[in-house]
Amino acid sequence: MTQMEKAKKHMDKAKKQVDKAMANTTDDLRSEVKKSVALLKELRDEVRAKLALASADAKEEWARIDGDLTKIELAAQNATHESKKALADAGERVRQFAKRI
């Protein structure tokens, strides 16, 4: 086996290892995003239960937040780092809103 053949074989092996690592990372990210979406849905349900007693202003604000949550949940289906951050930000918005009502 020539040096070039050895180098190519080594590069192919390294590429397979990188591909495997990337697949695992993507699976981990999808799992985290899925958990975040589930938590966000729980928070949404809690807020909706409290909303019956809330003021008109609070209900208006919730309508805006709820619309954003729907968009974020749809984007999260792609399970990217950006959707993970959007989920975290949305979760924080819902938690802050829930504290105020």
Domain assignment present for residue 12? The answer is no
- Whole-number pLDDT of residue 23: 61
pLDDT of 19: 60
Residue 48 lies in a domain: yes
Query: Chain-wide mean pLDDT for the chain?
Result: 78
Cα-based distances in Å from 33 to 6, 27, 37, 70: 41, 10, 6, 14
Instruction: Find the distance separating the first CA and the last CA of the chain, reported in whole Å.
Output: 73
**In CATH, what number is assigned to the domain containing residue 39?**
1.20.1270
User: Ranked by mean pLDDT, which of 2-11, 13-22, 61-70 comes out on top?
Assistant: 61-70
Q: Over the stretch 57-97, which tens digit does the pLDDT of each residue have?
A: 888 988 888 888 888 777 777 666 777 777 788 888 888 88
pLDDT, average across residues 18-45: 76
In a domain, 13, yes or no: no
The Cα 43–Cα 71 span in angstroms is 16
Confirm whether 6 is domain-assigned: no
